[in-house]
Amino acid sequence: MKKVAIALFACAVVAAAAQQVKPESQIKYRRGAYEVMNLSMSHLGAMAEEKKPFNPEEAQRYADIIAMVSTIPRENFGEGTDKDTKAKPEIWTKRAEFDRKMDKMVAEAGKLPAAARSGDMGSFKKQVSDVGSACKSCHDEFRAK
Amino acid sequence: MKKVAIALFACAVVAAAAQQVKPESQIKYRRGAYEVMNLSMSHLGAMAEEKKPFNPEEAQRYADIIAMVSTIPRENFGEGTDKDTKAKPEIWTKRAEFDRKMDKMVAEAGKLPAAARSGDMGSFKKQVSDVGSACKSCHDEFRAK
């Protein structure tokens, strides 16, 4: 019972925190985060595809940025943030599925820093590709064209 | 001589990297970064001003995000990125002054994670304020209303 009570309390705190942020701000926040992730990923993608030379410092920096910023969008799809956006209504009607895909993306992004530091191009390329797939999987289902 | 050669080489690499990113993408990248910083700062600001309770985990997370993302804008004011933007022409005519203010902002943002972890509300509040001042100092001079 205690665990359930704590879990319910934690959910209430998170919900309250989300409600404090205005819908317009939530939309700006997640868009900014996606923009940062997208352009950071394009740098990593170019290195993974050998369109530009692998630069360890640059790769680590972008990997760190993506891992950090990937945690922002999930909590910024609150109530009232479904207007004037590419976000499909299914985000709110199939929320568990959306959250699962978000968690997958955050988990894959979280592995990027280690892959960028591993010194193994195979691991690096695989991880960049896995992050890209996790992004795409969510976009395909939940983002309008 | 060797040091100078290395420095020149490093500059050439950075310049080449910047040129590879299209002006439109640079503008999107810096805007996204500013949006993320702005909204992350609003969370820290609310805690610093005691408008919401200080939450150590949340404070550390936003501090880490700001420190990391603060490094993005500087390199995304390249050639051709002066159109359809609030960025004033002075950024390019007084570049050394602009870069100095950028470096100051990045340096102050870089101190946020330690301040958020210090457990000392005085240090935390001071650092949030110092980052805010560094942002404002650049906006006042280089951002159109």
The arithmetic mean of pLDDT across residues A75-89, rounded, is: 94
Cα of B59 to nearest chain A Cα, Å: 13
Residue of chain A nearest B18, judged by CA positions: A43
Residues of A in contact with B61 (CB under 8 A): 71
Higher pLDDT, A127 or A2: A127
What is the mean predicted confidence (pLDDT) over A101-116? 98
How far B65 CA sits from the closest chain A CA (Å)? 6
* Mean pLDDT score, A52-80: 96
Residue (of A75, A101, A124, A97) closest to B65 by Cα position: A75
Spatial CA neighbour of B62 closest among B115, B102, B107, B104:
B115
Confidence of residue A33 (pLDDT cuts 50, 70, 90): very high
The span from the CA of B143 to the CA of B105, in Å, is 15
* Reported confidence tier of residue A120, pLDDT bands at 50, 70, 90: very high
Between residues B13 and A96, which one has the greater pLDDT? Answer: A96
Give, for all 145 residues of chain B, the pLDDT tens digit.
444 444 444 444 444 454 478 999 999 999 999 999 999 999 999 999 999 999 999 999 999 999 999 999 999 999 999 988 899 999 999 999 999 999 999 999 999 999 999 989 999 999 999 999 999 999 999 999 9
Return the residue in A39, A55, A72 with the most chain B beta carbons within 10 A, the one to mutate for interface testing: A39
Q: How far is B126 from chain A (nearest CA, A)?
A: 24
Residue of B nearest to A32 (CA): B32
Distance CA A1, CA A43 (A): 48
Q: How far is Cα B135 from Cα B33, in angstroms, rounded to an integer?
A: 13
Q: Among residues B117, B143, B122, which one has the least CA distance to residue B56?
A: B117
Mutate to test the interface with B, among A35, A47, A60 (most CBs of B within 10 A): A35
Judge: B58–A17 Cβ closer than 8 Å, yes or no. Answer: yes
Give the whole-angstrom CA distance, residue B76 versus residue B30.
Answer: 6
Q: Would the pLDDT of A3 be above 60?
A: no
Angle between helices A23-48 and B23-48 (to 10 degrees): 130
pLDDT score at A16: 45
Compute CA A106 distance to the chain's CA centroid, rounded to the nearest angstrom: 5
N residues, chain B: 145
Mean pLDDT for chain A overall: 89
